[in-house]
Chains A and B, each alone.
Chain A
């Protein structure tokens, strides 16, 4: 069934004064757009912007410090020990027994998740996460606490720089189903314009920036 396809395209072409055989014309892409100025210390800006949107940020020497940092985070929040971890981080030196680590997508009652990410954008302090077998999307939205590990060299200046990296990634792996850009915990202002965190997604986003 062709539904309204031809009718809609015909109506558009009629409005533009074009015939159907012009459909395969070449259109010159639009010029490069203005980008906001972003100061040079990208990591500093990335952290500052994230914190301004109610995320918490910690700087680590290396990704090997992640398990210890997670243990301290759980202690601080006095939370049960179940943690679900993206398969992409399963190879970290997780200690046996200090908490109950599961690898995979989020269960319905999940409270804490740990994921890697694809890039960070200094412009607005945003995390870019891809949905892949090693990084399931449910980890970003179902739990109350979302812990994210990012390497310093993953932080780029503008969104356009992240898209450039994405295009390179796509050329090898194919476009992921979802690209999630996340800038802090979930929030709403739908009741009397009062900002309230944790509307539907995580109430807390904790970002660990590893030097390497």
Chain B
């Protein structure tokens, strides 16, 4: 899909003015955060698990080639096929070829962010195939013709009312208004599709080198019907998803469910290994895995390697004040929030996603909740440095930074100037102690007043109180 991150400011402004979106976001905000907090309070070992998980991911990344080769051998041992895709176009071509060989007309899909990343649906549709998303959230946004706005709750921006209208229009049945009825209608419609599907495509949360298995987790069971009832099962996954053993996958699973939805476990964890066996009476007769690089190997060698630890739980966006205010669509691609603000510039370029690393308050909540301890604020700051080094930062901002740096390196001047500024701003603030308009900060003061300083600098107050009694 087209990356629209360049329109971030405009779309963020629109999102803030959209009352329906704001209502949906408001409802979502507390839910995710509270449920996660409760799940973690229930597990005293949570922090120890995070330590282990971050360490294990680093170990895997250090030996990524080794584990991928062992994984590939194990898949082949069980009769599956492994395909390697350098980029999105190659990944699409591989999946199209598999579907063509299967003479596929209907393709069902379990939820997969990598398939969103490579723009798979549009490519299959262009080949004349019917592509059906089966995760309820993904199904809703597919009907609406929208990209996901959250990596685990893709339709979190939609209200029940909007979904009622959508189903009414697309299913051509009477309009339903209650959640159980809506879910039930989707169940009936999608049941038909599961049994029609020639190919079932799922993601892979983890790939197990020990057994050659792909693992998916769902609450709905849609991924299972997708892969069990179709003749061909295709797994699309990133190369960084491999883990050594089932025990290692378990460590991540303990963190994933709690971080994502505040559950101890999702309802279904499915470990798939190859096509149906000789004696089996159900299951697909072909099993393919498409390993997608698409920029990941390059990340492995540089400053952004930590980002490859990501297990796509969505906790960073659930706890992000910026995401909570504007939702996922403003970010302009498939990965929103803090993790998306790191990934999108790496995929799309520093300029095309210029605003994303800058639309961050560096409050650090994302890093605090990340189950694999990715230093997201540091990575966002590093992207800003690179934008600055490449001359992408606006001239005014660069000039001011240079000016500030000049004084910051000269403490006496800095203090004298601060003293002057503190007194001046105090005077401007007057009795109210607030400044309504200030040159250079018009964008900031348009929406709120700036609190005026007390008139004394920090150093002055520090000295007045005596350094030692602090």
Q: Which of B42-101 contact A (CB under 8 A)?
A: 43-45, 48-49, 52, 55-56, 59, 62-69, 78, 83-86, 90, 94
User: Is the CB–CB distance between A16 and B64 below 8 Å?
Assistant: yes
Chain B residues with CB under 8 Å of A35's CB are 45
User: Is the CB–CB distance between A184 and B267 below 8 Å?
Assistant: yes
Q: Check B436 for interface membership: any CB of A closer than 8 A.
A: no
Q: In whole angstroms, what is the CA distance A157 to B246 when docked?
A: 16
What's the minimum C-beta distance from B99 to chain A, rounded to whole angstroms? 16
Are A138 and B282 CB-contacts (below 8 A) given A12-B68, A23-B69, A30-B59? Answer: yes
Q: Check B220 for interface membership: any CB of A closer than 8 A.
A: yes
Q: In whole angstroms, what is the CA distance A192 to B301 when docked?
A: 41
Pairs A–B under 8 Å by Cβ, sample size 5:
A3-B85, A181-B269, A191-B182, A201-B224, A201-B267
Q: Check B382 for interface membership: any CB of A closer than 8 A.
A: no
Q: In whole angstroms, what is the CA distance A139 to B445 when docked?
A: 63
Q: Which of A135-160 contact B (CB under 8 A)?
A: 136-138, 140-142, 158-160
What's the minimum C-beta distance from B317 to chain A, rounded to whole angstroms? 15
Q: Check B187 for interface membership: any CB of A closer than 8 A.
A: yes
Give which listed residue, A32, A185, A188, contacts B136 with CB less than 8 A: A188
Q: Which of B135-164 contact A (CB under 8 A)?
A: 135-137, 140, 153-156, 158-160, 163
Nearest 8 A/B pairs, CB to CB: A201-B221, A15-B301, A11-B297, A199-B220, A190-B137, A133-B279, A4-B86, A181-B269
A-B contact number at CB 8 A: 254
Binds B, one of A74-82, A91-99, A124-132: A124-132
Chain B residues with CB under 8 Å of A170's CB are 211
The interface residues of chain A, by DSSP majority, are classed as loop
| Nearest opposing residue in chain B for A166, CB measure | B246
What's the minimum C-beta distance from A148 to chain B, rounded to whole angstroms? 14
Chain B residues with CB under 8 Å of A106's CB are 282
| Nearest opposing residue in chain B for A194, CB measure | B179
User: Is the CB–CB distance between A53 and B155 below 8 Å?
Assistant: no
- Of the listed residues B134, B271, B273, B283, the one surrounded by the most CB atoms of chain A closer than 10 A to its CB is B271
Q: Check A196 for interface membership: any CB of B closer than 8 A.
A: yes
Q: Check B298 for interface membership: any CB of A closer than 8 A.
A: yes
Chain B residues with CB under 8 Å of A27's CB are 63, 66-67
Are A199 and B183 CB-contacts (below 8 A) given A177-B275, A188-B220? Answer: yes
Q: Check B229 for interface membership: any CB of A closer than 8 A.
A: yes
Q: In whole angstroms, what is the CA distance A199 to B222 when docked?
A: 8
User: Is the CB–CB distance between B195 and A186 below 8 Å?
Assistant: no
Q: In whole angstroms, what is the CA distance A23 to B52 when docked?
A: 25
Q: Check B239 for interface membership: any CB of A closer than 8 A.
A: yes
| Nearest opposing residue in chain B for A160, CB measure | B247
Give which listed residue, A8, A11, A30, A193, contacts B56 with CB less than 8 A: A30
Q: Check A63 for interface membership: any CB of B closer than 8 A.
A: no
Q: Check A105 for interface membership: any CB of B closer than 8 A.
A: yes
What's the minimum C-beta distance from A118 to chain B, rounded to whole angstroms? 12
User: Is the CB–CB distance between A104 and B281 below 8 Å?
Assistant: yes
Q: Check A68 for interface membership: any CB of B closer than 8 A.
A: no
Give which listed residue, A16, A108, A177, contacts B273 with CB less than 8 A: A177
Are A36 and B250 CB-contacts (below 8 A) given A4-B90, A199-B136, A199-B187? Answer: no
User: Is the CB–CB distance between A182 and B244 below 8 Å?
Assistant: no
Chain B residues with CB under 8 Å of A105's CB are 281-282
Give which listed residue, A5, A15, A17, A160, contacts B250 with CB less than 8 A: A160
Give which listed residue, B63, B159, B246, contacts A163 with CB less than 8 A: B246
Binds A, one of B258-266, B334-342, B345-353: B258-266
Q: In whole angstroms, what is the CA distance A11 to B299 when docked?
A: 10
Chain B residues with CB under 8 Å of A11's CB are 86, 293, 297-298
What's the minimum C-beta distance from B60 to chain A, rounded to whole angstroms? 8
Q: In whole angstroms, what is the CA distance A159 to B159 when docked?
A: 38
Give which listed residue, B31, B59, B184, B225, contacts A201 with CB less than 8 A: B225
Q: In whole angstroms, what is the CA distance A189 to B299 when docked?
A: 34
Give which listed residue, B84, B251, B261, contacts A189 with CB less than 8 A: B261
Q: Check A90 for interface membership: any CB of B closer than 8 A.
A: no
